[in-house]
Amino acid sequence: MEVETKLNLAACPPEILAVDANAETLWRVLLRKVGITISKGEHIEDRGAWILRNLGVPDLASRLGIQNQVEKGGPQDDVARAVIWRHVCEASSAGDSIADISEQNRYVLNAYIIPKDKKFSNPVDALRQASRTLPLCANEKCPHGPDGTRATVSSPRAKYCSKSCRNVVSRRDGFAKPKKLAA
């Protein structure tokens, strides 16, 4: 009777380590994206783990081996390898199809690219950056900025940079506090 040994998905398989310098880091990304649960140094066996172990690992090893041959001992092509890692991740995940990569959505490869200088720009990052720019103080005579110019406000919801600027505008527009009447 032969005992079947199962590959422990908690650790990156040696055949993957042999063909990719970043395999250890990318393996953790792959496990997270596929949805494999690791507990006490072992993976929890479910349908996703079975698919990754029996179909994904051999496919990944084969594709990365071919990529090694294409690179001919030169430096690793991080983008080409990211495409391979993402493809295997999509194929091992739940679902019926693998989404295509185009120029507009190449940023989806960023999770599988280690060098920051090779990552693709994400349109969401541009929106976040735009939302971080704060408007100028609504007081046109605000002296609190650098070189006597208007200062920026402290949050996107604020109109004025300080209480004093708010009070100046309130008094100028006739919204001053009413004076107490003498009794």
Indicate the domain borders of the chain.
14-122, 134-172
Q: Which helix (H) or strand (E) holds 26?
A: helix 23-34
- What is the token pair recorded at 82? 């990211």
Q: CA–CA separation, 78 vs 22, rounded Å?
A: 9
CA–chain centroid gap for 72, Å, is: 31
Residue closest to 30 by CA, chosen among 112, 120, 122, 100: 112
Torsion-angle region of residue 73: left (phi > 0), alpha (psi -120 to 50) or beta?
A: left
pLDDT in tens, the chain (183 residues): 444 457 888 889 999 999 999 999 999 999 999 988 888 888 888 888 889 989 999 999 999 999 999 998 889 999 999 999 999 999 998 888 888 888 888 999 999 999 989 988 888 777 776 666 777 888 888 888 777 778 888 777 788 888 888 888 887 776 655 566 665
pLDDT for residue 1 = 46
